[in-house]
Structure 1
């Protein structure tokens, strides 16, 4: 995704059970394709800026100090969009499951990662992406 940078904060210190990232988004950038995880919880905490959280329920502008949580297997696809004219900074925290399935409802795509760590992408009908 253009206009976004991510710095791993936990990996350099040996964290292996969950990931912690500091993410910055330039004006006009998005955090990811809208998605939801089958096996991994996600948590975000807004440090600077006013990103727009886009979920199945609609849009909500977040302020510094606010957080959002996305429980595993909720089925609620989400992403952040920077519709403002300032940089957005936020922390991302999530567990690291050995196997995972990520659903991208707006893009007819599922990413599957079995325990061996390989990744494959397919359409909802099962054909390869």
Structure 2
């Protein structure tokens, strides 16, 4: 099985989130592992959250299973049920279609690193728990269906 050279993948902190929803994720740096390794049926990213950064807006997917594996550091998982501290070795999973909004916040003074994996329709739909935004295919929309001027990054 070929080893992925993570350092050969250029990190990015790009987001398609419209302002002001893009600001909390400005300290999120990711490397897309699946495209670099030729995988086409799953998405996987190696993610570093700088202190204070969010992994995303709190969200869920209608058509995509998600799994997260903490590699180093510490972050707070925020879900509908509350807050849970995650550390290296912890694993979380969210089945598609379960409307449990979730994201991580790095409230520590050091970077935290994790791998996020998604399987299913990565261009599918879902919503954000705390803001007036949902996603469907390549776009972001207000919950009433009015489009935002930005598009999703894939």
Q: Find the counterpart in structure 2 of residue 16 from structure 1.
A: 40
Q: Find the counterpart in structure 1 of residue 106 from structure 2.
A: 82
Q: Find the counterpart in structure 1 of residue 143 from structure 2.
A: 124
Distance of 1:48 and 1:105 partners within structure 2 = 27
Distance of 1:99 and 1:92 partners within structure 2 = 16
Q: Find the counterpart in structure 1 of residue 116 from structure 2.
A: 92
Distance of 1:34 and 1:82 partners within structure 2 = 14
Indicate conservation of the 8 Å contact 2:63/2:122, yes or no. Answer: no
CA displacement at 1:26 relative to structure 2: 0.6
Structure-2-length-normalised TM-score: 0.76
The alignment covers a number of residue pairs equal to: 124
CA displacement at 1:105 relative to structure 2: 2.0
Pair 1:46-2:65 in alignment: no
Query: Which is bigger in relative contact order (C-alpha 8 A, separation at least 6)?
Result: 1
In the alignment, structure 1 segments of 5+ residues that lack a partner are 114-118
Q: 1:4 to 1:55 in 2, by over 3 A?
A: same
Indicate conservation of the 8 Å contact 1:29/1:81, yes or no. Answer: yes
SS in 2 for 1:103: strand
- Structure with greater proportional helix content: 2
In the alignment, structure 2 segments of 5+ residues that lack a partner are 1-24, 149-154
Indicate conservation of the 8 Å contact 1:16/1:96, yes or no. Answer: no
Structure-1-length-normalised TM-score: 0.90
Distance of 1:15 and 1:59 partners within structure 2 = 33
